[in-house]
Amino acid sequence: MKNYLATILLLFPLMIQAQYKSQVWCPDNGDGTYTNPVINADYSDPDVCVGASGEDFYLTASSFNCIPGLPILHSKDLVNWEIVNYAVKALPPLERYNQPQHGNGVWAPSIRYNQFNSTYYIYWGDPDLGVFVTTAKDPEGEWTTPECIIPGKGMIDTTPLWDEDGKCYLVNGWANSRCQFNSVLTVREMSADGMKQIGDPVIVFDGNGTEDRTAEGPKFYKRDGWYWIMCPAGGVPVGHQLAMRSKSPYGPYESKRVLAIGKTDVNGPHQGGWIHLKSGEDWFLHFQDKEAYGRVVWLEPVTWKDNWPVMGEKATRSPEGGNYCGQPVMKHKKPNVGKTYPIQNPVESDEFNTTVLGKQWQWHANYQQTFGMPSPYGYMRVFCHKQSADFKNMWEAGNLLLQKTPADNFTATTKLRLSAKEENQYGGLIVMGMDYQALVLRRVGDEFQLQQITCKDADKGKPEEVKVLATLKATQKDLVTYQPAYHCDAYLQLHVSYIGGKNAEGNNKHEASVQFAWSKDGKKFQTVGDKFTMRQGKWIGAKIGIMAAETAGKKVRGWVDVDWFRVTK
């Protein structure tokens, strides 16, 4: 490993992070302009708020069953973003989310600053359990344990609004899969602290039977005496953004289409958050669904016409008339925030040189100590997942240490060691989704095999296919212990390449090809195995990272020590 260099680095405060510029995607062009997307990674259903100072911006997004959950990203200019925190360390109830719950958990959160009590709030709907909230005085500090404040099925996409008089209202959408209706938005009154429902829901919008079907993801605002609900409709692949306004939080609301695909190839564009700057400018952050890559974040300028927001650049006429509908911008002048800030991108690479796990990493269930642990010696240890007796595939594993794909084209390389005290303990590099592929080292007898593991339709319980690529000698053998350990070192690598293309409807297909490689010395890599078409997970993009597993039974657990993980061109 890296010996004791990491110990020296531990002397530096952990909160101090160096500026990070990605090799594979940086939206800041360095000339006062930016190129979309501003975050080329899966931050689905993004929402954003202005911090207490008026000069900081905080973004959160859906995290579903991935833990830690509710990522908190910080920016000074809406273009350069850094992962600074997570609001949820463990999802309640623990007996449910201690096991993988793909696609469940945190749906479409909203983040708001309540000026009346100087507190940040994040609301979200768990479609099976109800409306949850967590709060903090500092978004980069500790958040409270999540609390279910409105129990019930089907409530999703929740956003609060604190009015000038201190009253609080909550808007939300509904999940047909849980309550057998959707395409409607409702508003109810909450207690002044936002922690208790005191009014019954009122339907303020119904998109059923119209081009605005699948209305969901509402965000609640107030501007110049008008109540505004920003809402995507029409479905994720080909939908559009609606703006609704009323003089009452309960409506009636009039609506117009304000953002659509137009003449671009940006499918959606879907839900997001509206920001008003001190300079007077308005901006809108939203996601674009890129299928296998997940839902990436775009930034649109907002102009005003007849007291209606027009998002993006001028496009085709709105069906309602009046030319209020914009289309996404590809390149644009950066927001006017009063000064220029350094380039900062979400961190991807990790040397594992601290005793705190990097903020780019998430597990696939509430963290348990047997998933893995950092160390002060320059490596991250991931313990083998003990498979169930009727194991089919890794869809059951919570100990997958994964991060989001950061760009259309990139290379991820890791140096690792598999330590096996039993046969059939294995681990390596994985690209995980409803289909997945991994390049692993597996102990077989006193030797190791380099294997390619492929699974199609993992979410449906389909079995893995294993292909042996090479046989390797053990790097080291510890024969003096009561349970001899065999170790194998290797450099494993995956290349992701954008495929593209069009689907039957003529819309962009965001497919990607994955090719694995390996090396003994980290210098000369050999391409191995079959190419793989990357596929998204349940409501999330495909993720990349480390896996380790072993067959069921009472055995001495094996593990993988990851020296480093680097994302490059």
CA 354 to chain centre: 23
The CB density around residue 285, as the number of other CB atoms within 10 Å, is: 24
Q: How far apart are CA 362 and CA 316, in angstroms?
A: 41
Q: How far apart are CA 559 and CA 168, in angstroms?
A: 50
Q: How far apart are CA 225 and CA 106, in angstroms?
A: 32
Q: What H or E segment, with its residue span, contains residue 60?
A: strand 57-60
At 143 the three-state DSSP class reads: coil
The DSSP secondary-structure symbol of 262 reads T
Active site residues: 45, 216
- Torsion angle in degrees (nearest 10) through CA of 338, 162, 113, 82: -70
pLDDT of residue 412: 98
In 225-379, where do the E strands start and end? 226-233, 240-246, 254-259, 272-276, 282-289, 295-305, 308-311, 313-314, 326-327, 331-333, 372-374
Residues 113 and 51 sit within 8 Å (Cβ to Cβ): yes
Specify the residue for token string 């997970």: 537
Q: How far apart are CA 192 and CA 167, in angstroms?
A: 5
pLDDT of residue 319: 52
pLDDT of residue 454: 98
Nearest alpha carbon to residue 418 among 465, 487, 347, 358: 487
pLDDT of residue 18: 65
- Considering only CA atoms, give the Rg of the chain: 24
Which positions of the chain have pLDDT values less than 70? 1-18, 315-322, 480-481, 505-506
Q: How far apart are CA 188 and CA 203, in angstroms?
A: 9
Give 340: exposed, middle or buried? Use CB within 10 Å, 0-12, 13-18, 19+. exposed
